[in-house]
Structure 1
Amino acid sequence: MKRSLVVLKLAVVLISLWGLMGCETIIDANIASGPTQLAVDAWLTDQPGQQRITLTQTANYFNNGPSTPATSASVVVGDNTGRTFAFTDPDNDGVYTWKPASTRDTTRLGIIGRTYTLGIQYQGNTYVSVAQMPRTTSIDSLIFRKKTITPVSKEEGYRSEFYATDPAGAIDYYYLRYYRNGVLQNRPQDISLAYDGAFRGSANTDGLMFIRPIRQSLNPEKLFALNDTMRIEMRTMTAEGYLFWELLRAQLQNAGLFATPPANVPSNIRNTNAAGPAAVGFFLVSPVRTRTAIVGKETLRGGD
């Protein structure tokens, strides 16, 4: 009797598996396209010359083509001293620019300590955003050390290291990026952020030299080669801007086995009509400090 029950159960299991293997239902997932939104890329600086703001329209998730430019918008930036700067789109490509009236005009849009308001009128909606240009520090030096690319590799390269000191008295937020032979290195892992010259949540580093992991964070996968040119660009930003870049970096690096569902990154750009379409993107104004060096005799140093 027991043997018969075992055989019967086994038969039921096999029949069930066969039935599952035979069931093949094709599901056509019809994902509706959501409404487009205004996407704003506005990061102004204290550097002389032309400034630009790029406006595009968001696309459907499965659309891998280039973004559609948001043209025919009115874009104005003003500061808390009453200065205003009108941005225009002469090429009708969604890139709105402002530049001094002439090559002799030394007017700079960005000035440390001032507050800036961005106003955009687009398709019957008015978008506004406010940002302040914070203080900054300088990059004191940039050097290179000869290293093996990995601990188990015999292949060698040159690892860069810059030196800078965080100013004391307040929390400072930094965004760091670099160029190799004139080409911006813009992989997600190339985004380097610093909180008082260190990592958020670490020990109190206010007023101290940037910690070594930050100083050595700007390097390509296989390091630099002899005679390469490296240019570092350091921007300081507000706490709100730092959080935006933290979240954006997390989304850009969100891949692999333990990836989490994608999430929207908050924007500081709002529609004055609360019932109108929201915008995405961010508005920042930052001082920029740079340092350039060539991998060679003058910049090479010994071991750590």
Structure 2
Amino acid sequence: MKLVSLFITLVLATLLCQCVTPINPDVRTLAPTLVVDGLVTDQPGRSRVTLSLTADYTSTSLNYLVEKATVFVTDNTNQRTTFGEISPGYYQPDASWRGNSGQTYTLHIRLSDGREYQSKSERLKPVAPIDSIYVDYSQQLKLGTDSFDKGFDVSLDLKDPANPDDCYRWSWVHYEPLVYCGLIKILECPTCNTYTTYGLTCCNRCWDVIRYQNLINITSDNAINGNRISRRPILRAPFNSYQPYYVEIEQQSLTKEAFTYLSSLKDMVQNTGGIFDAAPALLVGNISSVSKSDELVLGYFGASAMIIRPLYIDRSKAPGTPDIILAPPPQPPPTSCAECVETPGRTQKAPKWWVF
């Protein structure tokens, strides 16, 4: 009986293997598409344009940054402002330049291969001021663990003007002071090929610039025109140190067109892909090719007034202990330091309201 059972098992296994047909999907590829993320504001140092090209569907990389492009904006008085490339794919005007409320702005792009693109004009609308900012500590048990999610929830109030079609967006920029600007590996045991990683202290003062990521925090006054917006959530600051947490909160105005675009983008981002979800549509912004009317261009160029409010969060008075982030030990003597290299994500320039 054991031999019969074994024979039947082998036959079934053979049949199952023969029933498996290799699937070679027909993977379609799309031509690289220009992606534009641009903004003009009335605050110096806050206007920028980022250019990239979509990667092939089968590529594991992110979008390719577009370098050596000519980027400038024009306003309704025909004034032209050049946006220089400060790092690959990232373009900014002179640090002192800013837009003016009430004017309209148009983005112009010329790639290194000669292709040209232009946005529709966007009006820079004024924005209401921020009234109050709240900071509340909270901690919650992480699902399936014995550890807590500890942090500080930041929210704000404002009074919406009694004008129709006021739309808002909130973002933030956190500046994290650095101790180490680089890492070095030192061979401690040549015979066993063992290395130790040490931190290289910064040669001068340096901050990591951490901007909001994948956050589309927007609203309109369609339902509350002329009333207050209360306790609008902005961010959650981590409790990973007793040091003060410095953040600059940005409140922006949006045109109706920009709000509609961002609302659609937010719906696409939040679409979880369930069986009853609508298939995502191709989201086209306000930028088009000058020479090829049928060329697809993704992204949006906007203009916005901006209110900036600096905030220091005193984390020393929070209950409990912070989630300490372990850092590498400093390099033993003789030591060297690492330069703070200026990039969109790192700066030697002290934040405007820095007091320490």
Task: State the TM-score, normalizing by the size of structure 1.
Answer: 0.73
CA apart distance, 1:236? 1.1
CA-to-aligned-CA distance 1:245-288 (integer Å, 9 cap, x gap): 11222222222545543332221001233445221111011111
User: 1:289 maps to which residue?
Assistant: 307
- For 2:68 and 2:246, the matched residues in 1 are separated by 40
Number of the residue aligned with 1:115: 104
User: Which residue of 91, 94, 99 maps to 1:99?
Assistant: 94
- SS where residue 228 of structure 2 aligns? coil
Matching residue of 1:144: 135
Of the three residues 161, 164, 167, the one matched with 1:173 is 167
What's the offset of the Cα at 1:58?
A: 1.5
Give 1:139's aligned amino acid: I
Quote the offset at 1:78 in angstroms.
0.7
Aligned partners of 1:120, 1:147: CA distance in 2, in Å? Answer: 46
Instruction: Note closer, same or farther for the CA distance 1:70–1:296 as it changes in structure 2 (3 Å cut).
Output: closer
How far 1:234 moved relative to its partner? Answer: 1.1
Match of 1:134 among 111, 125, 142: 125
The Cα shift of 1:112 comes to 0.8
Q: Does 1:125 align with 2:115?
A: yes
Q: How many angstroms does 1:46 deviate by?
A: 1.1
Partner residue, 2:217: 192
8 Å contact kept, 2:157–2:230: no
SS at structure 2 position matched to 1:26: coil
3-state SS in 1 of match to 2:229: coil
Residue 27, structure 1, aligned to residue 23, structure 2: yes
Higher strand share: 2
- Tell me: CA distance 1:294–1:207, structure 2 relative to 1, closer, same or farther (3 Å): same
Deviation, structure 1 residue 156: 6.5
CA RMSD across the alignment? 3.6
| Structure 2 segments unaligned to the other structure (5+ residues) | 1-13, 177-208, 319-356
Q: Match for 1:208 among 205, 227, 232?
A: 227
Provide Cα deviations, 1:87-144, integer angstroms capped at 9, x if missing partner: 23366x23233216xxxxxx63311110011122233433111211111011122122
> 2 CA distance for matches of 1:85 and 1:136?
23
Structure-2 residue corresponding to 1:38: 34
Distance 1:147 1:40, change over 3 A: closer
Find the aligned partners of 2:32 and 2:277 in 1 and give their Cα distance: 26
Contact 1:46 1:288 in 2 (8 A): yes
- CA contact 1:50–1:99 (8 Å) conserved in 2: no
**Cα contact 1:128–1:272 (8 A) shared by 2:** yes
**Normalization by structure 2: what TM-score?**
0.64
Match of 1:263 among 255, 274, 281: 281
Whole-angstrom CA distance in 1 between matches of 2:162 and 2:303: 21
Residue of structure 1 equivalent to 2:201: none
The answer to whether the 8 A contact 2:73-2:108 is kept is yes
1:237 equivalent in alignment to 2:254:
yes
SS at structure 1 position matched to 2:131: strand
Matched, 1:251 2:268: yes
Contact 2:156 2:233 in 1 (8 A): yes
Residue deviations 1:170-226, cap 9 Å, x none? 2111111234564646454x4311112xxxxxx7311211144xx135335889988
CA, structure 1 residues 211+224, in 2 after alignment: closer, same or farther (shift >3 Å)? farther
Shift in CA distance, 289/250, structure 1 to aligned 2, threshold 3 Å: same
Partner Cα distance (2:148, 2:30) in 1: 52
Moved over 6 A (4+): 18-21, 152-156, 221-226
How many aligned residue pairs are there? 269
8 A contact 2:151–2:238 mirrored in 1: no
Task: Name the counterpart of 1:75.
Answer: 71
Counterpart residue identity of residue 241, structure 1: A
Residue in 1 aligned with 2:331? none
- Tell me if structure 1 keeps the 8 A contact 2:288–2:295: no
